[in-house]
Amino acid sequence: MLKVAGLNVRYGKSHVVFDLDLTVESGQMLALLGRNGAGKTTSLMGILGLLPGAQGRVAIDGADVSRWPAHRRAQSGLAYVPSGARCFPNLTVAENLEIAARRRAGSNGSSSTSSRGTSWTKERVYELFPKLGELQANMAGGLSGGERQMLAVGRALMSNPKVILMDEPTEGLAPVIVQSIGRLVLELKQTGVGILLAEQNHQMALKVADRAAFMEKGRIVDEMPAARAINSEVLHRILGV
Amino acid sequence: MGGLSNAAYLFIVAVGLSLVFGALRVINMAHGSLYMIAAFVTVVVANRLGLALGFWVGLLAAVIVTGAVGVLIEIVVLRRVYREEHLIQLLGTYAVTLIVAGAVRIIFGSNYRTMSPPQLFSGSLSLAGYRYSVYSLFMIGAAIMIAVGVNLMLYRTALGRNIRAAVSDSELLSASGVNVARLFTTVFAIGAGLAALGGVIVAPSQAVGTSMDSDVLVLAFAISVIGGLGSIIGSAVGAVLVGEIYSFGLVNPYTNQFALAFVFIIMTAVLTIRPWGLFGRAEQ
Give mean pLDDT, residues A65-86. 95
Read off the pLDDT of residues B230-262 as tens digits, 9 standing for 90 and up: 788 899 999 999 999 998 888 888 878 888 899
Quote the minimal CA–CA distance from A241 to chain B in Å. 34
- Beta carbons of A86 and B165 less than 8 Å apart: no
Q: Find residue A216's DSSP bridge partners.
A: A219
For residue B1, the model assigns a pLDDT of: 62
Higher pLDDT, residue B122 or B75: B75
B159–A contact, CB cutoff 8 A: no
Whole-angstrom distance, CA of residue A154 vs CA of residue A80: 11
User: How many domains are there within chain B?
Assistant: 1
Q: What proportion of chain A, given as a percentage, has pLDDT over 70?
A: 93
Helix (H) or strand (E) holding A33: strand A29-33
Tell me how far the alpha carbon of residue B4 is from its chain's centroid: 15
Structural domain for B31, as ranges: 2-116+134-208
Q: Is B189 a domain residue?
A: yes
Q: Is B237 a domain residue?
A: no
Burial of B157 (0-12, 13-18, 19+ CB in 10 A): exposed
For residue A107, the model assigns a pLDDT of: 47
Mutation pick from A58, A76, A95, A159 vs chain B, by most beta carbons of B within 10 Å, is A95
Does position A102 have pLDDT exceeding 90, yes or no? no
For residue B149, the model assigns a pLDDT of: 96
Give mean pLDDT, residues B208-227. 93
CB-nearest to A89 from B158, B168, B180 is B168
Q: Is B229 a domain residue?
A: no
B47–A contact, CB cutoff 8 A: no
Domains of chain A are 2-239 (3.40.50.300)
Q: Is B281 a domain residue?
A: no
Q: What proportion of chain B, given as a percentage, has pLDDT over 90?
A: 71
Quote the minimal CA–CA distance from A75 to chain B in Å. 5
Reduced to 3 states (helix: H, G, I; strand: E, B; else coil), residue B78 is helix
Question: What is chain B's length?
Answer: 284
Give mean pLDDT, residues B122-129. 82
Q: Is B62 a domain residue?
A: yes
- Beta carbons of A159 and B181 less than 8 Å apart: no
Considering only CA atoms, which of A12, A91, A10 is closest in space to residue A45?
Answer: A10
Q: Is B182 a domain residue?
A: yes
DSSP string, B86-122: HHHHHHHHHHHHHHHHHHHHHHH-SS-B--PPPGGG-
For residue A78, the model assigns a pLDDT of: 96
- State the pTM of this model: 0.89
Q: Is B254 a domain residue?
A: no
Give mean pLDDT, residues A58-80. 95
Whole-angstrom distance, CA of residue B172 vs CA of residue A233: 37
* pLDDT-wise least confident of A106-120, B98-112, B154-168: A106-120
Q: What proportion of chain A, given as a percentage, has pLDDT over 90?
A: 72
CB pairs under 8 A, 24+ apart, for B169-174?
Answer: B169/A86, B169/A88, B171/A50, B172/A80, B172/A82, B172/A86, B172/A87, B172/A88, B173/A88, B173/A99, B174/A50, B174/A69, B174/A70, B174/A71, B174/A74
Read off the pLDDT of residues B177-200 as tens digits, 9 standing for 90 and up: 999 999 999 999 999 999 999 999
Question: What is chain A's length?
Answer: 241
The whole-chain average pLDDT of chain A stands at 90
Q: Is B106 a domain residue?
A: yes
For residue A111, the model assigns a pLDDT of: 42
Residue A215: phi and psi, rounded to 5, are: -115, 135
Considering only CA atoms, which of A131, A170, A120 is closest in space to residue A149?
Answer: A170
Sort out which chain B residues have CB atoms less than 8 A from A71's CB and list them: 174-180
B283–A contact, CB cutoff 8 A: no
Whole-angstrom distance, CA of residue B29 vs CA of residue B90: 7
For residue A119, the model assigns a pLDDT of: 86
Give mean pLDDT, residues A86-93. 96
Paired sense of beta strands A2-11 and B130-133, if any? unpaired
Give mean pLDDT, residues B59-70. 96
Reduced to 3 states (helix: H, G, I; strand: E, B; else coil), residue A164 is strand
